[in-house]
Amino acid sequence: MIAPRPRVSRNLSVPLVAAALLSLAAAQAARAPSAASPDTAVPRVRLVATGGTISNRTGGRLTAEELVKSMPGIERYAQAEFEQFSNLASSELTLDQWLALAKRINELFSTDRGLEGVVVTSGTDTLEELAYFLNLTVRSDKPVVVVGSMRNPSTLGYEGAANLLEAFRVAASPDARGKGALVVLNDEINAAREVTKTDALRLNTFQSRTVGIVGVVDADRVVFYRAGVKRNTASSEFDVNSVTKLPRVDVIMVYQGADGDLIKAAVDAGAKGIVLATAGAGATSGTQQEGIAYALKKGVPVVTTTRTGSGRIAPPRRGPNAPPFSANPNNPLSPEEQRRRIAGEDLAPVKARVLLMLALTRTNDPAEIQRIFSEY
């Protein structure tokens, strides 16, 4: 006689099924990337906040810590650190603070080898000037990304958190190394040397006109299309660690019937250099040639740029067959004085000012200054 099979309670299978499901879930979790894990191997990126519209909330400015907390999903791309350098409108930052900021970023990169990149917040009004200054003074090939927003945190459609997240993604990207200081807004990456603010209000205000963007920040990854060839950051000769004050350089615009007395007044007030935002490819007007001659005779270099927004100013012809500069035939300029006229190449007037200030911390030789404008 065959013994009956023992009956097994169905209830006994429940723990077994549950255990199997838990094991399966654990295996899937082990295979999936964990964004929140402290052991996740994502780059360390530090925010150095200076202020600007991106933090200018009604009733008080957002701090660096609050800006970092405003970025959803940042842990997927970077270990975000932060420090509050200042919290001002960009137009309120002084040149002394520019120097201190560059020194601070250099200090971060030199003392913290594990830091992969730095993000700097700035107001958009003078963002392009600060970005170009950092492009010339940060002595590292690690990414420095400058970011801002056109709308403030209390405004409908505030894009600051999105811009900031994209800036962190670029700073964390190994492809951003060696490309100089970068500007990230509106899903686009621009080189600090070429980018300019082209509209007072629109979100797509930052453009590089002739040469275009260097890359984009898309949902899947950061994409670079090109790299600049001008000297910057790690290849720059400008070491500001020992610089305590930047020399005064003024920008004078050319317009119909302009008076050269403004140039003379700037020189008499202590300007060590003058940048002319000329009409077209170098035209002046009114009595400005007299003002230029005055500056050159006083030993003040005059850099020619264009107010048009794009185009290159070539160095003037030198030598016996070159046309003379004769604003006053009764008091002609010597060859040495004429050499103080510097071509600003394709730099915007405000960026030519930045480069001339730094050049004057190293040399007063016109030939050397012209070389610097050709290389940077």
Q: Compute the distance between CA of residue 354 and CA of residue 133 in angstroms, rounded to an integer.
A: 6
Phi and psi at residue 274, to the nearest 5°: -125, 135
Q: Which residues contact 243 (CB under 8 A, 6 or more apart)?
A: 99, 361
Instruction: List, for residues 162-200, the tens digit of each pLDDT value.
Output: 999 999 999 999 999 999 999 999 999 999 999 999 999
3-state percent helix, strand, coil for the chain, nearest multiple of 5? 35, 20, 45
Q: What is the pLDDT of residue 322?
A: 55
Name residue 251's beta-bridge partners.
275
Residue of 347, 88, 275 lying closest to 96 (CA atoms): 88
Contact 297, 327 (CB under 8 A): no
pLDDT, mean of residues 333-361: 97
Three-state SS for 26-67 is HHHHHHCCCCCCCCCCCCEEEEEEEECHHHCCCCCCCCHHHH
Task: Tell me the pLDDT band of 36, cut-offs 50, 70 and 90.
Answer: very low
Q: What is the mean pLDDT of the chain?
A: 90
Query: If DSSP codes are grouped into helix, strand and coil, which group holds residue 85?
Result: strand
Q: Compute the distance between CA of residue 64 and CA of residue 57 in angstroms, rounded to an integer.
A: 13
Place of tokens 């405004």: 155
Q: What is the pLDDT of residue 77?
A: 98
Rounded percentage of the chain residues whose pLDDT exceeds 70: 86
pLDDT, mean of residues 67-73: 96
Annotated active-site positions, please? Answer: 53
- β strands within 55-161, DSSP E: 79-88, 115-121, 144-147
Residue 138 buriedness (CB in 10 A; 0-12 / 13-18 / 19+):
buried
Phi and psi at residue 190, to the nearest 5°: -120, 150
- Residue 73 region by backbone torsions, left for phi larger than 0, else alpha for psi between -120 and 50, else beta: left
Least trusted range by pLDDT, from 12-16, 102-106, 223-227, 268-272? 12-16
Contact 354, 232 (CB under 8 A): no
Residue of 276, 354, 351 lying closest to 316 (CA atoms): 276
The tokens describing 217, both together, are 């920040």
Domains of the chain, each with CATH number or no CATH: 44-235 (3.40.50.1170), 249-375 (3.40.50.40)
* CA 133 to chain CA mean position, Å: 7
Task: Tell me the pLDDT band of 336, cut-offs 50, 70 and 90.
Answer: very high
Tally the C-alpha atoms within 13 A of residue 160's C-alpha that lie toward its C-beta.
31
Q: Compute the distance between CA of residue 235 and CA of residue 141 in angstroms, rounded to an integer.
A: 8
pLDDT, mean of residues 299-316: 96
- Top pLDDT among 288 and 28 is at 288
Contact 148, 122 (CB under 8 A): yes
Q: What is the pLDDT of residue 246?
A: 98
CA dihedral sign, ordered 130, 135, 140, 146: positive
**How far, CA to CA in Å, does 329 sit from each of 146, 285, 295, 325, 326?**
49, 18, 16, 9, 5
Residue of 362, 319, 314 lying closest to 342 (CA atoms): 314
